[in-house]
Amino acid sequence: MPKPERLSPEQIASALATLSGWELANGKLHKKFVRANFNDAFGFIARIALLAEQMNHHPELFNVFKNVTIDLTTHDCGGISALDVELARKIDAVA
């Protein structure tokens, strides 16, 4: 499988304009979700894990009570790639 290509700052800005609530933070696509309760947050994380595994692209997931914070970056290319944008869209679809 070829190494994913790192997106340019212009490509990242263009992608962010189409993603609701996502921002650039510390060189990663970043978003915070507030769920109904801990069980809902944990279930949300489990659904994301299944999506990520299907893509073989794994996000950084952080959970505190009903809050889920997600950071997306592609380590293979040292930045944000189209895989991160695709996963962000899929995460939003299950949110």
pTM for this model (two decimals): 0.96
State the Cα–Cα distance between residues 18 and 94, nearest whole angstrom: 17
Neighbours of 50 (CB within 10 A): 9
- Sheet with 28-34: strands ordered across: 23-25, 28-34, 67-72, 60-64
Q: What does the pLDDT read at residue 1?
A: 67
Superfamily per CATH, domain 9-94: Transcriptional coactivator/pterin dehydratase (3.30.1360.20)
Q: What is the pLDDT of residues 45-87, one digit of tens each?
A: 999 999 999 999 999 999 999 999 999 999 999 999 999 999 9
